[in-house]
Amino acid sequence: MKQPNYFTIIFLLLSLSLFTFWFIYNPVEDFAASIPGQDNRPDKNSASFEVINIGEDFKKFSNKKSDLTGKWERFRGLNFDNINTEKIPLINNFGNKEVKILWKVNLGEGHAAPAIYNGNVFLIDYDETQKADMLKCFSLESGEELWRRWYKIHIKRNHGMSRTIPAVSEKYIVTIGPRGHVMCLNSQNGDFLWGLDIEKKYETEIPFWYTGQCPLIDNGTAIIAPGGSSLMIAVDCASGEIVWEAPNPDNWKMSHSSIMPMFFEGKKMYVYAAVGGICGISAEAEDKGKLLWKTAEFTPNVVAPSPIVFPDGKIFMTAGYGAGSVLFQLKKKNDEFSVEILQKYKTKEGIASEQQTPLVFNNHIFSILPKDAGSSRNQFVCCKYDNCQNILWASGKSHRFGLGPYIIADNKFYILSDDGTLTIAKLSSSHFIFLDKSKIFDGQDAWGPLAIADGRLLMRDSKQMFCIDLRAGK
């Protein structure tokens, strides 16, 4: 007599039990709708319920004044090119000595970088203990905190919080916080002048990873690109009055990119790379805020680098995550502007960048290639500005820099790897000339842009800021 297959019987019984459970169980019985903001994304509706008193709190620690006069007053410095022009001799190598760290300070998690003005260092920082977005002012010489101004706001960790750089002038300082809160202060003493919630006023969709756009001060007005109901706005720094608003008919969204001024054919304009396209907005008195041109030929979902503009009307734009790069040519005919594509290519086909805005010197573009650039990933590379697909040289496999920042000062490149290693290379468009490198700190995600003034270089990782002395002979 054939014996029953007990394995088969057990399997059938188990399957029947599981089917019965599935049939009678109601999977939505205890379902609860997700709570806004609990997925670490900025919640577009949170601004409607949370009361934010921008700039409400202030504390002064010291009246110390400085005799220093150096300036790095905004994102990418004086001329928006990441080039320091001070006539101060800087070191060519580190020798056998330890790097001279003048001071360091602990910070909240983020990638926000400092601005420098006459011996003062301005940095926006999120304090998790107090749940506050803060503008802090430090002494460039000592690192002593001089004052801070802040406001309470709930921000969840999302691979960092603060990401922007203040814009500073003789009279004003303007900041943009992680959730799009604009604050304008007296740069001399920290007195509050006005605040603006662009999320509320312009229905701005705050980017994933929070706000990365750095503000611009131009002739006493703050220039900001909210997206939402207005593509770009100008605010009078003295009064907080909205001077003009540029329309946003295509509903382009705010990116992590910053506004760049451009002069072409006798016309000054503001060039901005939004999520949705790139545009030029008039900065001239007779038609300020007018949309002069736009193109939707480069539309990545994440845009961190800012546009690179050239006097002959060329505009280079790049982004990470496989977006590649594009080289545009701006044209003018009968007072009308148009833009055409000269080159458009994937990351592995030419110069590109994921996070940092490339450098330009002597009609050459310098950049660190993204991690998806194949065998040349994370290398420092060079191309001619009008032929971005032809990489002239690369730093080589032994010199990779992650997503770190870089500047030009005293005819040298200073390149910070995202692990805290600083490399010095000779300024050259012919080939990469390595001079020296040193591990400054055991860093993590040292992505915030560098700032330099009076021979002092400021750098940071995700939780600390360092000031080192680069002056030769010091």
| Over residues 13-24, mean pLDDT | 53
* Segment 57-73, tens digit of pLDDT: 999 999 999 999 999 99
Give the mean pLDDT of the chain: 90
Q: Which residue has 């000339």 as its token pair?
A: 433
* Segment 314-326, tens digit of pLDDT: 999 999 988 999 9
Q: What residue ranges in 349-420 does DSSP mark as E strands? A: 359-361, 364-368, 380-384, 387-394, 406-409, 412-416
| pLDDT confidence tier of residue 9, bands split at 50, 70 and 90 | low
How far apart, in whole angstroms, are the C-alpha atoms of residue 231 and residue 252?
7
Q: Which residue has 């605010």 as its token pair?
A: 235
| Over residues 305-334, mean pLDDT | 95
Q: Which residues contact 287 (CB under 8 A, 6 or more apart)?
A: none
| pLDDT confidence tier of residue 207, bands split at 50, 70 and 90 | confident
- Max CA distance (Å), the chain: 105
Q: What is the DSSP secondary-structure string of 321-365?
A: TTTEEEEEEEEEETTEEEEEEEEEE-GGGS---SSSPPEEETTEE
Instruction: Supply the pLDDT for residue 11.
Output: 60
How far apart, in whole angstroms, are the C-alpha atoms of residue 1 and residue 61?
96
How far apart, in whole angstroms, are the C-alpha atoms of residue 422 and residue 93?
11
Instruction: Supply the pLDDT for residue 6.
Output: 58
Instruction: Supply the pLDDT for residue 80.
Output: 96
35 has pLDDT over 70:
no
The two beta strands, 291-295 and 277-282, are antiparallel
How far apart, in whole angstroms, are the C-alpha atoms of residue 283 and residue 223?
10
* Segment 430-462, tens digit of pLDDT: 999 999 999 999 988 899 999 999 999 999 999
Provide the β-strand partners of residue 341: 328
Selection from 189, 186, 184 nearest residue 61 by Cα: 189
Is residue 297 within 8 A of residue 344, CB to CB? The reply is yes
| Over residues 96-100, mean pLDDT | 81
Amino acid at residue number 284: E
> Tokens in use for 22?
């599935």
Instruction: Supply the pLDDT for residue 34.
Output: 33
> Tokens in use for 244?
């003009």
Is residue 233 within 8 A of residue 242, CB to CB? The reply is yes
27 has pLDDT over 50:
no
| Over residues 382-409, mean pLDDT | 96
Q: What Rg do the C-alpha atoms of the chain give, in angstroms?
A: 25
Instruction: Supply the pLDDT for residue 12.
Output: 63
What pTM was computed for the model? Answer: 0.89
Is residue 123 within 8 A of residue 114, CB to CB? The reply is yes
| Over residues 231-239, mean pLDDT | 98
How far apart, in whole angstroms, are the C-alpha atoms of residue 386 and residue 383?
8
* Segment 179-193, tens digit of pLDDT: 999 999 999 999 999
What torsion do the CA atoms of 412, 416, 421, 427 make, to the nearest 10 degrees?
Answer: -20
* Segment 257-283, tens digit of pLDDT: 999 999 999 999 999 999 999 999 999
Let me know how many helices (H) and strands (E) the chain has, helices first: 2, 35
Q: What's the CATH number of domain 8-87+108-254, 3.40.47.10, 1.20.1600.10, 3.40.1190.10, 2.40.128.630?
A: 2.40.128.630
Q: What is the DSSP secondary-structure string of 48-73?
A: GT----TT-EEEE----------EE-
Instruction: Supply the pLDDT for residue 209.
Output: 86
Q: Name the residue with higher pLDDT: 450 or 14.
A: 450
Share of the chain above pLDDT 90, in %: 80
Residue spans of the domains in the chain: they are: 8-87+108-254, 260-289+302-345
Q: Which residue has 């990779």 as its token pair?
A: 400
| pLDDT confidence tier of residue 48, bands split at 50, 70 and 90 | low
Q: What residue ranges in 140-229 does DSSP mark as E strands? A: 145-152, 167-168, 172-176, 181-186, 192-197, 216-218, 221-224
Q: Name the residue with higher pLDDT: 302 or 11.
A: 302
| pLDDT confidence tier of residue 38, bands split at 50, 70 and 90 | very low
Instruction: Supply the pLDDT for residue 97.
Output: 76
Is residue 316 within 8 A of residue 257, CB to CB? The reply is no
| Over residues 112-122, mean pLDDT | 98
Is residue 283 within 8 A of residue 269, CB to CB? The reply is yes
| Over residues 241-247, mean pLDDT | 97
Q: Tell whether the torsion through CA atoms of 13, 18, 23 and 26 is positive or negative.
A: positive
Q: Which residues contact 441 (CB under 8 A, 6 or more apart)?
A: 104, 420, 461, 464, 466
Q: How crowded is residue 376: how many other Cβ atoms within 10 Å of its Cβ? A: 18
